[in-house]
Amino acid sequence: MKTSTMIGLGVVLAGAVGAKMAFFPCGACDAGAQASASTPVVRTVAMEATPYSVDNVHSSVLFSVVHNKVSNFYGRFNTVSGTFHLNADEPSKSVMDITVQADSIDSANTKRDDHLKGSDFFSTKEFPTLTFKGTSFAKGENGMWTVTGDLSVRGVTKQVVVSVQDTGSGEGRGGAKVAGFEAKLTFMRSEFGINYGVPGISDATNLIVSLQGAQK
């Protein structure tokens, strides 16, 4: 059974590395050392394929539901990790493996958070994580990708199709290559065993996943 998914998602990935010739400690190496200093930057497919590690401090995972059929209510998950990379040259070698700690849910109300962590909703002691793992990647136009993968919530895994958009890449502090993506996903929580409060709390649940990562 497939879950209908809508995502505006953005992924930005690129990589560049400086290659230097090795310095050999021998008497005939002065020329080699000089050549090393003048060796130009070289782009390699192998290094560009290195996944980006999610930077939790500069990433956001938000959720929203409709409450009492009149307003959107928003909350967030505070802890996310994983790796990602969209390989434009070889899409089949792309990676998207994201883990959210369910216990990090934050609705700005401690009593409500305890309810969300309990058996009516995410049952976080039994099911500590929400995960998405991409299984196939297709590059589209204008930085868009279609990513098919497995979404796991509360111990239930379903295949979803995600629309991903590039949000940029560049150089972070210390010279590390950084990139990011943003995703907007709508799924029916009842399909993952979370039925409490429907329809007063909408079955349709929206996720906004905006991640930044660095190559290491």
Q: 193 or 41: whose pLDDT is higher?
A: 193
CATH number, domain of 108, equals 2.40.128.110
- Asked if residue 10 belongs to a domain, the reply is no
What does the pLDDT read at residue 48? 54
Supply the range of the domain harboring residue 81: 43-215
What does the pLDDT read at residue 1? 47
- Asked if residue 59 belongs to a domain, the reply is yes
Residue 25, pLDDT above cutoff 50: no
Residue 66, pLDDT above cutoff 90: yes
- Asked if residue 89 belongs to a domain, the reply is yes
pTM reported for the whole predicted model: 0.75
Residue 31, pLDDT above cutoff 50: no
What does the pLDDT read at residue 128? 98
Among 5-9, 31-35, 127-131, 189-193, name the one with the lowest average pLDDT: 5-9
- Our count of domains for the chain comes to 1
- Asked if residue 188 belongs to a domain, the reply is yes
Q: Nearest to residue 10, comparing CAs of 161, 167, 207?
A: 167
Q: What angle (nearest 5°) sits at the alpha carbon of residue 199, between those of residues 71 and 62?
A: 50
Each residue's pLDDT tens digit, 150-171: 999 999 999 998 888 878 888 9
* pLDDT confidence tier of residue 17, bands split at 50, 70 and 90: very low
Each residue's pLDDT tens digit, 79-105: 999 999 988 889 899 999 999 999 999
Q: Facing residues of 160 across strands?
A: 149
